[in-house]
């Protein structure tokens, strides 16, 4: 893939503006329609899954009906852990994934999913993708596997839920916690005994005392999962996952068979969904924090100075996790942007 340039985004923008003209010409005939299947991360009926359905509808609209993507909930076609291999093998054409799940095999994916103590604002992380070459680096990470990274969906923090009070970063030491991806390595360096449990086991692990604290999802999703019933403390900011990127990834052979206009439509729809989901989460965070408090959960706000100090310490953990050339380039480019933003 070529490097993202301002000219590229002018082209993408022009395609979006041209969509009404495309639609005005009428829907494509059945013989002209390319049909894809996409398996997402989320359960059916959940808020993020509804946004995946909107993504598919927007692609259909932008392509004048020539690219029809049917969305499936997580695990509906294959178990979530098999989605990577299924897309690579062409069992279906596209997935919505979280790169952190494959960080053990592809170290760069630790940096293209979420960076513990990293960018505190989602716009900063998204700027790294679109303004500092992160998108091209993410595409490079999938290319050798025969897959094409389309674009990220970037949103803000995920909270930490705990059965014990965590009032400072020092309180992490000696605790048991559920973390995945790069967070597992970094939290280990901060003294946490890490268990990389599946998302579906978080509730029971907290309830049974298998872990003292756990990462799971955004504030609304965690309330809907009932974590207020088993974890009396909610810790903010979500230092372990201050900003998050999930990703649209396609089988390269299927992607190459698309027209240029269809490829652009995928990117336009993806970036639109990134912004709209992020804004939904911002609004819902306030609403659902109040619900947690009404349920008797104590919301603990950590000292920003404590987080800033921990970010400096975390750089060493990031460096240990960057074990190949691509992951080192990702880390270096993120650190450079953080320094310019005066985060480091």
**pLDDT by residue, tens only, the chain of 344 residues:** 433 333 343 334 444 434 443 343 445 555 689 999 999 998 888 888 999 999 999 999 999 999 999 999 999 999 988 999 999 999 999 999 999 989 999 999 999 999 999 999 999 999 999 999 999 999 999 999 999 999 999 999 999 999 999 999 999 999 999 998 899 999 999 999 999 888 889 999 999 999 999 999 889 989 988 999 999 999 999 999 999 999 999 999 999 999 999 999 999 999 999 999 999 999 999 999 999 999 999 999 999 999 999 999 999 999 999 999 999 999 999 999 999 999 99
Q: How far apart are CA 273 and CA 313, in angstroms?
A: 34
Q: Tokens for 213, please give them.
A: 């604290």
Question: pTM for this one?
Answer: 0.87
Q: How far apart are CA 161 and CA 228, in angstroms?
A: 8
Q: How far apart are CA 212 and CA 231, in angstroms?
A: 9
CB 89 within 8 A of CB 56: no
In the chain the domains, ranked by start, together with CATH numbers, are: 15-155+243-282 (3.40.190.170), 160-241+296-340 (3.40.190.170)
The neighbour count for residue 272, using CB atoms within 10 Å, is: 15
| pLDDT tens figures, 208-266 | 999 999 999 889 989 988 999 999 999 999 999 999 999 999 999 999 999 999 999 99
Q: How far apart are CA 304 and CA 237, in angstroms?
A: 9
Q: Tokens for 215, please give them.
A: 């990462």
């Amino acid at each position: 893939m070529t490097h993202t340039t301002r000219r590229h985004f002018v082209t993408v923008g022009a395609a979006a503006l041209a969509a009404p003209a495309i639609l005005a010409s009428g829907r494509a005939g059945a013989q002209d329609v390319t049909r894809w299947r996409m398996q997402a991360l989320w359960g059916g009926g959940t808020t993020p899954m509804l946004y995946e359905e909107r993504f598919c509808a927007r692609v259909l609209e932008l392509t004048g009906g020539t690219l029809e993507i049917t969305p499936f909930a997580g695990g509906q076609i294959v178990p979530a852990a098999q989605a990577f291999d299924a897309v690579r093998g062409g069992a279906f054409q596209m997935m919505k994934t979280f790169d952190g799940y494959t960080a053990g095999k592809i170290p760069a994916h630790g940096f293209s999913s979420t960076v513990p103590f990293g960018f505190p604002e989602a716009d900063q992380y998204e700027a790294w993708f679109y303004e500092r070459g992160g998108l091209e680096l993410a595409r490079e990470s999938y290319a050798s596997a025969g897959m094409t990274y389309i674009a990220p969906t970037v949103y803000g923090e995920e909270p930490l839920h705990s059965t014990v009070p965590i009032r400072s970063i020092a309180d992490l030491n000696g605790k048991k916690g559920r973390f995945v991806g790069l967070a597992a390595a970094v939290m280990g360096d901060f003294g946490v005994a890490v268990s990389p449990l599946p998302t579906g086991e978080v509730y029971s692990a907290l309830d049974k005392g298998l872990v003292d604290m756990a990462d799971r999802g955004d504030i609304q999703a965690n309330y809907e999962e009932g974590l207020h019933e088993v974890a009396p403390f909610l810790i903010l900011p979500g230092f372990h996952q201050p900003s998050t990127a999930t990703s649209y990834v396609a089988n390269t052979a299927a992607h190459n068979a698309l027209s240029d206009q269809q490829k652009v439509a995928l990117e336009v729809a993806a970036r639109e969904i990134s912004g709209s989901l992020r804004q939904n989460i911002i609004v819902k965070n306030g609403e659902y924090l109040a619900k947690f408090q009404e349920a008797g959960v104590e919301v603990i706000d950590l000292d920003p100075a404590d987080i800033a100090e921990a970010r400096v310490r975390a750089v060493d953990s990031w460096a240990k996790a960057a074990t190949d050339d691509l992951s080192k380039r990702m880390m270096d480019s993120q650190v450079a942007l953080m320094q310019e933003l005066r985060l480091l």
